Structure 1
Amino acid sequence: MTVAKPSPARRARTALPTIVAMQPQPRPLRLIIQIPCYNEEASLPETLAALPRAIAGVDIIEVQIINDGSTDRTVEVARSLGVDHIVDVPVNKGLSNAFMAGLEHALAKGADIIVNLDADNQYNANDIPRLIAPILERRAEFVVGDRPITTIAHFSYLKRLLQLLGSAVVRMASQTTVRDAPSGFRAIARDAALRLNSFDSYTYTLETIVQSGLSGIRIVSVPIGVNGETRPSRLIRSIPQYIWRSSKSILRTALVYAPGKFLFRLSLPLLVAGLILIGRWLWLTIDGTDRAHVPSLVAAAGLLLTAVMLWVAAITGEQMAINRRLLQDIQYRLRKAALPPLLERDDAGDDQQP
């Protein structure tokens, strides 16, 4: 018996369709270099000229300035030099506000990594690839440039000492290994930038390190180079004022992000001193002294009572810290949801007035 074969047309109609899986194309990695500016028309051209135009592992490099209420031609100079984004703050609100406004705008423009540096060209821009390398290698989310403090010619001996001492205090408060806490040359991954806050009107440098270290953001340091001094620092106008305001920033941030640990450690010297006085009073009493030593007993009671009050405050602070962490997580999710979808390219040069 002969079996008829189906015609070619019928075979084409009954063949199962072939499904070709399309591989998703990787989204280009975007780096935005942000520069807070306040009356920087003289130094901005040199700073912009030093920025790298291509970096291995980065597909798109854009430059953004934050004009913090400048009264000179900073914005005009930036536009003439082809800056991609300008964040315009109409009134001078300080470095911390400019830094946060820049982060918000860079995130909205789709930045995967944000590099922050000063407009006075004090940092060596050739070290930007070294700065972002830990983020590209997934070893960190936050990288701080470590200047050679002890060899910077225009730093006085006192300024070097204060920089090293201040960084040591920040390391203890933040539980990190950051060697140059006041450095403004830093790289921040997108997810870490969504979690950062700065409430200090003076500077963002110390607060963001303490916050990151105590919030679980992976932060490291890398050595960087510096250029010669182009103008005096606008942040450190007076050494005593800088010490006072920096100390307040560290203490306030430690109280906000680790109140229990901070207050408990603060109570330990009082506890030890109170126990020593109590022990002395008991020893003298058992030894049969003729004096009552009431002042020692009163002082011991005061010290121990203060220590107990700090313990109560520490417990209350820890409860508030739990609520703060929950609110911070909600803030992170809201910030992330509010961002526009990440696109391969977007319009550049749009001004924003926060």
Structure 2
Amino acid sequence: MKLIVQIPCYNEEATLALVVACIPRSIPGISKVEIQIIDDGSTDRTVEIARLCGVDHIVQNGRNKGLARSFQKGIESALALGADIIVNTDGDNQYSGGSIPDLVKPILEKQADIVVGDRKPGDNPEFSWLKRQLQKLGTRVVRNLSGVDVGDAVSGFRAYTREAAFTINVMTRFSYTTETLIHAGQHGLTVLSVPVETNPTTRPSRLAGSTYRFMKKQIVTILRSYFMYRSLNAFLWAGLIMITVGLLPVLRFLYFYAIGDGEGRLQSLVLGSMFLLAGYITVVIAFLSDALATNRRLTEAVLERVRRLEQQPSASEKQSDANEPLRIVGRSHDSV
């Protein structure tokens, strides 16, 4: 059982050595632990520090592409390296490496496909009161939309099985945390939360310049993911509500028109017609969006199959290496 711990990094020379040092190299149930960093165009000594610390694999972006894309690139690299379990942590030493065994335990026991480290953000004294409340609200929203029970939806400290990693497709540049949870819920993956230890904050988050911008980007990501997977429900209900609202003034006008008192009540007809037209268009959008969502699911299935096919040569090479001693023995026997 091979575990790869990946660390997306952008200018983390001050903390990377500590992060790497705290990652356990021996975990019960794991035969091999390797460390991989994804350098997102750092301009400091991050890559040099990684080499000095004995990091096993270094993946470099040519330029800064954002956390989400670095995360996706790391997942694809870890799969190519034959990882059975992939743990993602941050390069700022926010998460304690000592909690990695707790993260992978439910996977080793075959209880989960994805395990999310729960920092207990609602009780974290490192967070301001406003941030704690926003974290609670955001987690509640993601839990309802995704259908998975998590206590810390934006935690980047996570463990994935190889099978779960094959299905990951991150579209946003901002952050993968909420999008992948909604994705996991739609694909029927089992997601569990486990409490994890955190370290004192070393620097402000670089995901957004302020809490307002962070929440704004998270809301956009959540809505995009929701409409991507549940567009029929979202637009259909909105359209039906508008149609219902539009019918009321139209029926009112028809009633008065039928009894000969329709003069001067054209406003009801115009208003109702506007709502009916808007509702009709929204219902049409609902079905078109559902067709696009179906196409996305088919595309994801194709991408997953392509990823699996890309891994087959590696499996064949391993089998060939395993058979090599048998061919040598055979030739020795013939020579005798």
Normalised TM-score (structure 1): 0.82
User: Pick from 58, 77, 94: which aligns with 1:86?
Assistant: 58
Kindly state the Cα deviation for residue 284 of structure 1 after the two structures are TM-superposed. Answer: 7.5
Q: Deviations over 1:71-126 (max 9, x none)?
A: 11111111111111111112111101110111111111100110001011111222
Confirm or deny: 8 A CA contact 1:41 1:74 kept in the other structure: yes
User: Pick from 314, 317, 321: which aligns with 1:341?
Assistant: 314
Q: Determine the structure 2 residue equivalent to 1:257.
A: 229
Kindly state the Cα deviation for residue 286 of structure 1 after the two structures are TM-superposed. Answer: 8.8
Which ranges in structure 2 are unaligned for 5 or more consecutive residues? 322-336
Comparing 129-138 with 197-206, greater Cα deviation is found at: 129-138
C-alpha distance in 2 between matches for 1:285 and 1:177: 55
Q: Determine the structure 2 residue equivalent to 1:66.
A: 38
User: Pick from 248, 269, 273: which aligns with 2:220?
Assistant: 248
Q: Determine the structure 2 residue equivalent to 1:329.
A: 301
C-alpha distance in 2 between matches for 1:111 and 1:280: 66
Q: Determine the structure 1 residue equivalent to 2:279.
A: 307
Q: Deviations over 1:154-211 (max 9, x none)?
A: 2111111221222222222222222321111111111111111111111111111112
Q: SS where residue 314 of structure 2 aligns?
A: coil
Q: Deviations over 1:124-158 (max 9, x none)?
A: 22221221222222222112222211221221111
Comparing 267-276 with 86-95, greater Cα deviation is found at: 267-276
Q: How many residues in Structure 1 have an aligned counterpart in Structure 2?
A: 317
Equivalent positions of 1:66-215 (< 5 A) are 66-215=38-187
User: Pick from 238, 243, 266: which aligns with 1:294?
Assistant: 266
Confirm or deny: 8 A CA contact 2:240 2:283 kept in the other structure: no
C-alpha distance in 1 between matches for 2:62 and 2:233: 41
C-alpha distance in 2 between matches for 1:284 and 1:179: 56
Confirm or deny: 8 A CA contact 2:5 2:35 kept in the other structure: yes
C-alpha distance in 1 between matches for 2:140 and 2:53: 39
Opposite residue 341 of structure 1, the aligned amino acid is S
Opposite residue 56 of structure 1, the aligned amino acid is P
Kindly state the Cα deviation for residue 271 of structure 1 after the two structures are TM-superposed. Answer: 4.2
C-alpha distance in 1 between matches for 2:238 and 2:150: 23
Confirm or deny: 8 A CA contact 1:114 1:189 kept in the other structure: yes
Larger Rg: 1
Q: CA RMSD in A?
A: 2.4
Q: SS where residue 258 of structure 1 aligns?
A: helix
Confirm or deny: 8 A CA contact 1:148 1:225 kept in the other structure: no
Q: Deviations over 1:273-318 (max 9, x none)?
A: 4355556667878999887443344333322332222222222222
Equivalent positions of 1:22-41 (< 5 A) are 29-41=1-13
Normalised TM-score (structure 2): 0.86
Kindly state the Cα deviation for residue 223 of structure 1 after the two structures are TM-superposed. Answer: 2.2
Q: Determine the structure 1 residue equivalent to 2:199.
A: 227
Confirm or deny: 8 A CA contact 1:214 1:258 kept in the other structure: no
Q: SS where residue 32 of structure 1 aligns?
A: strand
After superposition, the Cα gap between the structure-2 partners of 1:286 and 1:193, relative to the gap in structure 1 and judged at 3 Å, is same
Q: SS where residue 65 of structure 1 aligns?
A: strand
Opposite residue 32 of structure 1, the aligned amino acid is I
Confirm or deny: 8 A CA contact 2:25 2:32 kept in the other structure: no
Q: Determine the structure 1 residue equivalent to 2:15.
A: 43
After superposition, the Cα gap between the structure-2 partners of 1:83 and 1:310, relative to the gap in structure 1 and judged at 3 Å, is same
Opposite residue 221 of structure 1, the aligned amino acid is S
After superposition, the Cα gap between the structure-2 partners of 1:316 and 1:136, relative to the gap in structure 1 and judged at 3 Å, is same
Which ranges in structure 1 are unaligned for 5 or more consecutive residues? 1-28, 347-354
Opposite residue 126 of structure 1, the aligned amino acid is G
Confirm or deny: 8 A CA contact 2:2 2:82 kept in the other structure: yes
